[in-house]
Amino acid sequence: MRWTFSWAGLVFLAMLIVPNLLWTKVRPKGYDQLEQQENRVLVALERIGQVAMSACALFENKSPRSWLWLVVVFGCMGLYERYWIRYFRSHHTLQDFYRDLGMIPIPGAVLPVAAGFSLAVYGRNPFLLGATVIFGIGHVGIHWRHRQERK
């Protein structure tokens, strides 16, 4: 394998990080209470996955797979950005934060994991794939539990 810098990975990370930085200023009302009750194992997996994904997304195999995988990556990330725009235009409640996007449950957690998985396949990057699985277990697990606790 010959590794090279991934421009697609850099764009993916920017699309992932920017809305999350903005979110820190407009967190949903009541989120702090949910955050205090989070499963420590899931939080650890999420954080480890975040760091690993950030590092691994910047590299791809010299001969990536079909560009159709990039369409999937940026299709997921486009929906992710749409989710954030809807949230930022809302009243910033937990209901707004966990509202489905069409048929996609907890889109703020599911879409970046799907995009990370697709980016790993596109770039033939097994390290990114592993990091995405770790991140996905933690991130989706945390937000699935938050959503269930709200019901």
Rounded to a whole number, what is the distance in angstroms from the first to the last CA of the chain?
A: 48
Q: Can you name the residues that pair with 3 across neighbouring β-strands?
A: 61
CB 43 within 8 A of CB 147: no
Coil vs helix vs strand at 31: helix
Give the mean model confidence (pLDDT) for residues 64-87: 94
Q: Which is more confident, 151 or 7?
A: 7
Residue 56 in tokens: 């691994």
- The domains of the chain are located at 3-150
Encoding tokens for residue 41? 């194992």
For 84-97, give the DSSP string.
HHHHHTTT-BHHHH
pTM of the model: 0.93
Helix, strand, coil percent content, the chain, rounded in steps of 5: 70, 5, 25
Read off the pLDDT of residues 94-148 as tens digits, 9 standing for 90 and up.
999 999 999 999 999 999 999 999 999 999 999 999 999 999 999 999 999 998 8
* CA distances (Å), origin 116, targets 39, 78, 109, 122: 23, 13, 11, 10
State the DSSP H helix or E strand holding residue 60, giving kind and residue range, or none if neither: strand 59-61
Instruction: With beta carbons less than 8 A apart as the criterion, state whether 109 and 139 touch.
Output: yes
